[in-house]
Amino acid sequence: MAQIIGLTGGIASGKSTISNMLGNLGFTIVDADIAARAVMEPGEQAYTRTIDAFGKGLLLHDGKINREKLGSIIFHDDGKRELLNSIVHPAIREKMSEWKEMAIAEGKHTIIYDVPLLYESKLTHLVSKVILIYVDEAIQLERLMARNNLTEVDAKARIASQLPLQEKVKLADAVIDNNDSLVSSRLQLEQLIEKWSMEP
């Protein structure tokens, strides 16, 4: 039976870096962000329902949804964020389940569920254990402002829309401290793989 391991963090905590390391080690990554993009492609049910809810002003000239515009609407409005989540989250879970079943059919032993909002979306029941990627708040803010070219106010709003990393630390089965170098993070990951007897 394949084991499903959750991988989560906070925005700009470096979770994608660790996810890539796991992928390079041969693990199957079922990525919620990729699933989120897939279900928002034109023709998908979640795409149609999002346009119905938020209007055609969201569309780019190629018919795709302007993710930045949608993001700026929902990050400052809890009601609209909840509305979008109610449309998108069930579709994402379905897509991820589909990919997981394909990996199991291929004989994979460990499948990594890469889910940024694992705790916020109450999806821990989908995984047997959780790895949390942790960084200090000051580093998180600095990385997010630099990565997304955001003002401090906008970056703080995005961080505040998630459960604080300090809270997530208490809930996780393992924590990788990503404040230091990539070498340090990789070493922590390799030790965890050995400890949990994870194989791809």
**Known binding site: residues?**
12-17
- In the predicted model, is pLDDT for residue 87 greater than 90? yes
Q: Is the dihedral of CA 98, 99, 105, 111 positive or negative?
A: negative
Give the β-pairing of 110-114 and 3-8.
parallel
What b/e readout covers 144-177, taking b as 16+ CB neighbours within 10 angstroms?
A: bbeeeebeeebbeebbeebeebeebeeebeebbe
pLDDT digits (tens, 9 = 90+) for 96-150: 999 999 999 999 999 999 999 999 889 999 999 999 999 999 999 999 999 999 9
What average pLDDT score do residues 6-14 get? 95
**Known binding site for ATP: residues?**
12-17
CATH superfamily for domain 3-195: P-loop containing nucleotide triphosphate hydrolases (3.40.50.300)
- In the predicted model, is pLDDT for residue 76 greater than 90? no
pTM above the 0.75 mark?
yes
What average pLDDT score do residues 74-80 get? 89
SS3 10: coil
Confidence of residue 54 (pLDDT cuts 50, 70, 90): very high
Q: Give the residue from 76, 35, 72, 37 showing the smallest Cα distance to 57.
A: 72
For the record, the structure tokens of 145 come out as 């402002």
- In the predicted model, is pLDDT for residue 178 greater than 90? yes
pLDDT at site 161: 87
What average pLDDT score do residues 48-75 get? 93
Instruction: Read off the DSSP letter of residue 127.
Output: -
Question: Per-domain residue ranges for the chain?
Answer: 3-195
CA distance 74 to 43: 22
Contact, 117 vs 65, CB < 8 A?
Answer: no
Length of the chain measured in residues: 200
What values do phi and psi take at 2, rounded to 5?
-70, 140
